[in-house]
Structure 1
Amino acid sequence: MTPTVRAHLALLLAMAIWGSSFIALKVAVGILHPMQVIFLRMLIGSVTFLLIMPLWRGGVRYQRGDWKWLLGMAAFEPCLYFVFEAMALQYTTASQAGMVTSMLPLMVAAGAWFFLREQISRYQWGGFLIAVAGVFWMSWHSEISETAPNPALGNFLEFMAMASAVGYTLLVKKLTSGYRPLFLTAMQTFVGTIFFLPLAMTQPWPESIAWSTWATLGYLGIVVTLGAYGLYNYALSQISATTTAGYTNLLPVFTLFFAMILLQETMNLQQWLAIGLVFAGVMISQRRVPALPLVAAIETPEEKPVQP
C-alpha cells in the first residue's frame, strides 16, 4: 500500500471519528460548561501523549524561528477553534454544526492557492462546489430542534471555527516538512491544556461528574484528539492541503449518520439524496490531484516528510 493510499484511508477514518465528535461534544456541553469540557479533553489527551512519548518525541528537526509557526498552529487549533465550536453547540444542533464544515474545503483551497501556491484543478473546484450544494440541500431539509435556541448564531460561530481550521491546516502543511505528525498533534494538545485551564477554572464545577460523562470526555481526549488529529496530520504530510480538506465534505454526512444512531434523529429522502451528492462531490474532487509544491510563501527549506 502506497503512502498516498494510506493517506486517503487515514482521512476517511479521521472524518468518521470527527463526525462522531460533534455528537459527543454536544452531549458533554449539556452537562459541563464548554470551557470545562475542552480543558478536560485536552488534559486527557496530554496525559495520553505523555504515556506514549517515545512514539512522537524522536526525529524532531527544529529550525530557528519555527516556534512562531508552532505557536500559531496551536493558537488556531485547538485554542480558537474549540472556543468557537463549543460556543456554537450551545446554540445549534450537532447536525447543523457539522453541515457548516462544508465551507472548509473551499476556504482551505483559496488559502492554499494564495499562501502555498498549490494548483487547484477544475475537478477539485467542481467537486467541492457539488459537495457544498449537497450539504446545503441537507441543511435546507433539516428541522430545528429544541436544542437549537439560536441556530443562526450557532452556525456563524461554527463558521468562525472553520476559519480557524483554515489557518491550522495551512500551518500544519508547512510544518510537516520538518516535524512528525504525532509531534505536532502532541504540541497542540499541550498548548490547548494550558490555554483552557484558566478558562475552565472561572466556571463553577459540579460536585461530581458521572462515569458516562468521563467516558465521553475520554473518547474526545483520546480517540478524537490523538486519533483523528494524528490521522489528519499524517495525511497532510503526504498529500496537498487542498486534497486533504476536500474530505471534510464528508463530515456532515458522518455527523448525520451518528446523530441518527445515537440521538435517534431521523433523515428524510431528500437528505439521503443529498448525502449521495456529497459523496459524488468528494469523489470528483479527488479525480486528479495536482503536483504539490511544499514551499510556502514564507520560505522553508524543501525536505521530505518525516514518516511517523
Structure 2
Amino acid sequence: MKQTAEIKHLFPMAAILTAVFLWGSSFSTMRMVLNVLDPMSAIFLRLFIASLCILPFTGKLFPRNYKRGDWKILGGMVLFQPCLYFTFESRALIYTTSSQAAIVSACLPLMVAVAAWIFLSEAINTKIIVGLVLSITGVVLLTLFQSRGAAAPNPVLGNSLELLAMVAACGYMILVKQLSSRYNTWTLTAMQVLGGTLFFLPGILPLLAADPAIWSSKLILLLLFLGPCVSLGAFGLYNYGIKTISVSKASICINLIPVTAILLGWIFLEETLNLKQGVAIGIVILGVGLSNHKSRN
C-alpha cells in the first residue's frame, strides 16, 4: 500500500517539476522575443497561440460541475494568473535585473506556505520549514553569485512590481487548490489561457503597425514554444500536480526555476557556471527534495 501511495505521489510531482522546467526554459526564450516585440504583444501572442491549440476541445472542457458562486473564484484565478502576474513581471524586468527579480521571487514559497496555513488549513511540518529555508537561501546565493549584468534603471520600482507578481502567483495557487477538487485540470487551464488572451487583446494594436520584416522563422518558433509548451502545457501540468500535492510543497519547487534557467544557459548557450553557483544549485535541490520527502515508518 505504501509503495502504491508513493507511486501515485510521483506522477503529480513529475508534472510539477516538468512545469517548472518549462517555465525556467522560457526566461531566455521570452527575452529573445522581447527584443522584437512589445511585452503586451508578446504575451498576447503566446496566449493566443495556446488558445488556438485548446479551442477544438473547449466543448469537452466546459465545466459540468459548476457550483453557484464559483465564478468569483474562477475569475480570481484568471485575474491572478496569467493577467496580473504577466503584467507585473513583464514590467518588472524592464526596471530591474533578472538576478534581483529572482531574489524577490524566492519569497513566493514563504508567502504560499503562510497563505495555505491561513486559508486551506494546511499543516507546516519541520521538513517543509527546513526545505523552504534551504531553497530560499539557495536562490539568494545563486543570484548573488551571478556575474554582473546591465545596471537596473529603477530597481525599487522593478522589485516592487516583481513582489506584486509574487502576490498574484500566491493568490493563483491558493485558488487553484480550492478549484482542483471540483474542476478538470484542463478546464482550469483553458479558462486561464482564454481569459488571458482576452485580457491582453490590446497587444494586437502594436502588431498591426509593426514592420512585416520582424516575422522571422526564429521568432515564430519561439512563439510556438511559448504558446503550446509553456503557456498551455506548463499551466496544465502544474494544475494537475497541485490537485494531490500540498500548495506549500508545490510552491517550493518554484525555486527550481532560476536553477533550470542557469543550467540550460550553461548547457545550451555556453554561459558560465562557477563552483559557488553549483553549490547554490545543490542547496536549492536539497531543499526541494527534503520538503517532498516522505518519512518511512
**Please, which of 148, 162, 166 is the counterpart of residue 166 of structure 2?**
162
1:81 has 2:52 as partner: no
Question: What does the per-residue CA deviation read over 1:258-291, in whole Å, with 9 as the maximum and x for residues that have no partner?
Answer: 23345443121111111011111111111249xx
Partner of 2:216: 210
Match of 1:247 in 2: 253
Query: For the residues of structure 2 that align with 1:204 and 1:96, how far apart are their CA atoms?
Result: 34
Query: In structure 2, do the counterparts of structure 1 residues 224 and 109 end up closer, same or farther at CA, with 3 Å as the change threshold?
Result: same
Do the aligned residues in 1 keep the contact of 2:99 with 2:144 (CA within 8 Å)?
no
- Which residue of 146, 149, 161 corresponds with 1:145? 149
User: Which residue pairs with 2:198 in the alignment?
Assistant: 194
Which aligned pairs between 1:1-308 and structure 2 lie closer than 5 A?
A: 2-53=7-58, 57=61, 60-94=64-98, 96-146=100-150, 148-151=152-155, 153-201=157-205, 205-208=209-212, 209-288=215-294
**Secondary structure, in 3 states, of the residue corresponding to 1:89?**
helix
Checking the alignment, whether the CA contact within 8 Å between 1:99 and 1:252 is kept in structure 2 is no
Spell out, residue by residue over 1:110-161, the C-alpha distance to the aligned partner (whole angstroms, 9 max, x if none). 1100111111111101110011111111121122323854455434322221
Comparing both structures, which one devotes a greater share of its residues to helix? 2
SS at match of 1:265: coil
Query: What is aligned with 1:292?
Result: none
Cα gap change, 1:40 to 1:128, in 2 (>3 Å): same
TM-score using structure 2 length: 0.90
Counterparts of 1:27 and 1:155, CA distance in 2? 22
CA distance in 2, matches of 1:48, 1:120: 39
CA contact (8 A) 1:10 1:231 kept: yes
Q: Which amino acid in 1 is paired with 2:252?
A: G
Go from structure 1 to structure 2 and tell me whether the alpha carbon gap of 1:94 and 1:221 turns closer, same or farther (over 3 Å shift): farther
State the AA in 2 paired with 1:276.
G
Q: Which amino acid in 1 is paired with 2:262?
A: L
What is the CA-CA distance between 1:90 and the residue it aligns to? 2.3
Task: Calculate percent identity across the aligned residue pairs.
Answer: 42
Q: Which residue of 2 aligns with 1:300?
A: none
Q: Distance in 2 between matches of 1:118 and 1:244?
A: 12
SS at match of 2:147: coil
Indicate how the Cα distance of structure 1 residues 160 and 261 shifts in structure 2: closer, same or farther if over 3 A, else same. Answer: farther
The DSSP-based 3-state class of the residue aligned with 1:90 is helix
RMSD: 2.1
1:45–1:254 distance in 2 versus 1, CA, 3 Å: same
Q: Take 1:58 and 1:216, find their aligned partners in 2: how far apart are those partners?
A: 30
SS of the residue 1:232 aligns to:
helix
Letter in 2 for 1:186: A
Q: Scaled by the length of structure 1, what TM-score is found?
A: 0.87
SS at match of 1:206: coil
Relative to structure 1, is the Cα distance of residues 238 and 251 closer, same or farther in structure 2, using a 3 angstrom cutoff?
Answer: same
Shift in Å, 1:62 = 0.4
Separation of aligned partners in 2, 1:84 and 1:11: 23
CA distance in 1, matches of 2:107, 2:170: 10
1:224 shift after superposition: 0.4
Deviations 1:13-68 (A, max 9, x none): 111111001111111112111000000111001111113446x5166310100111
